[in-house]
Structure 1
Amino acid sequence: MSTPAAYNIPNLLTYGRILAVPLIVLCFFVEGRLQSSDFARWTAFWLFAAASITDYLDGYLARIWNQTSNIGRMLDPIADKLLVASILLLMAADRTIAGWTIWAAIIILCREILVSGLREYLAALKVSVPVTRIAKWKTAIQMVAIAMLLVGPAIDNNPPESEMTGLVTGAGIAMLWAAALITMYTGYDYFRAGIKHVIDE
């Protein structure tokens, strides 16, 4: 008897990515309040790394095993956005992201919401907007930036006053800005491709 589509391996990986979201947040609230010990950050980092790997694996396995499904197509982008949005908000709450860098996070979050809305609208019109190569690069840079921001403070201050102080977190912030700039371009690219269908309607 074949496995129902909802329980095939690609979809189970997607469910795992969604489950990783509250687990990562929980790492920062193990004492009942927001705190970011080195242990919490390393645990959150490895959970995020595993979740990021499933982001690649679920689509790859679905294609090579011919196990694509409607629930997988629906949940995959939702899982990605939940993962990114929750960690950006978490990093803002504990001030890993602060000051002007908050704008980089806002740009990324706004783009994700706007493009999701556009895709949903165009899907109702049976119009597909393919993911571009530069959008895939944006996602890769964004994921690396988030990983560095999660674990950066745990590395930068061990030992205190070392030459590494601030280096990993600073690199993560720089990459987050790079992702935000690419995000603005890809967001414009998607809207340019989709807006004619909106206007035609």
Structure 2
Amino acid sequence: MAQSPLTQIPNLITIARILAIAPVIALVMTGDPNLRLLALILYILAAASDWLDGYLARKWNQTSPLGRMLDPIADKLLVGLLVVTLAWDGSLSAWDMIPALAILFRELFISGLREFLGNTKVVLKVTQLAKWKTTVQLAALAIILLDPIVPGLALVSDLLLWLAGILTVWTGMQYLLASWPHLSDDVL
């Protein structure tokens, strides 16, 4: 008897990543540097689980439609909610809001585009550059979390956030161009 996707370890790891978001956000919002360090540790574990769940799913041949749906949602929730929280607590400068808003816009837009195209049986495959984009986003947010604890990282976090913003816009344009032929009413 096949194992239910809800009990497969890779999917449980993805679900744990989603569940870790609330404590990360709550710990950041306290404003306490010690709790922010705890948020950073929990965030790093959640971010690393993005690699782990995919690796285990492929290794154990436990890929599933549930996992393919949950994994990008978990990534977008982790990144998006943390970006909003860091904007709220003042960790992001006015200039940082440019790549931050680009990240939020792209993630929501491409999710909607995938949903729309799903009704047409068109699948937008995740590109290698999009995987790097997610990695750079996750790294940038980790450095931003770390900056108040270890002063002097502002330039590094700014550069990584802008790189993440550029990669985010670039991959968003790639997905939009790939889906363009399928957006006509004649094709749908």
Count of aligned pairs: 186
What residue number does 1:115 align with?
Answer: 110
8 Å Cα contact 1:17/1:51 also seen in 2: yes
> How far did residue 2 of structure 1 move?
5.6
What residue number does 2:24 align with?
Answer: 24
1:171 aligns with 2:153: no
Identity rate, percent: 41
| 4+ long deviations beyond 4 Å | none
What residue number does 1:78 align with?
Answer: 73
Structure 1 range deviating more: 48-57 or 130-139: 130-139
Matches within 5 A, 1:1-201: 3-28=3-28, 34-156=29-151, 167-199=152-184, 200-201=187-188
**Could you tell me the TM-score, scaled by structure 2's length?**
0.93
Q: Deviations along 1:41-73, whole A, 9 cap, x unmatched?
A: 211111111011110111111112111222212
User: Distance between the aligned counterparts of 2:181 and 2:166, measured in 1?
Assistant: 24
SS in 1 for 2:153: helix
> How far did residue 182 of structure 1 move?
1.4
SS in 2 for 1:55: helix
Q: Which has the larger radius of gyration?
A: 1
Q: Deviations along 1:114-149, whole A, 9 cap, x unmatched?
A: 111111122221112222222222111111100000
Q: Deviations along 1:56-105, whole A, 9 cap, x unmatched?
A: 11111111211122221221111111100111011101101021211211
8 Å Cα contact 1:37/1:154 also seen in 2: no
User: What letter is aligned with 2:36?
Assistant: R
> How far did residue 4 of structure 1 move?
2.2
SS in 1 for 2:124: coil
User: Distance between the aligned counterparts of 1:135 and 1:3, measured in 2?
Assistant: 30
User: Distance between the aligned counterparts of 1:131 and 1:2, measured in 2?
Assistant: 27
User: Distance between the aligned counterparts of 1:35 and 1:182, measured in 2?
Assistant: 31
User: Distance between the aligned counterparts of 2:89 and 2:155, measured in 1?
Assistant: 16
**Could you tell me the TM-score, scaled by structure 1's length?**
0.88
User: Distance between the aligned counterparts of 1:18 and 1:42, measured in 2?
Assistant: 19
Stretches of structure 1 lacking an aligned partner (at least 5 in a row) = 29-33, 157-166
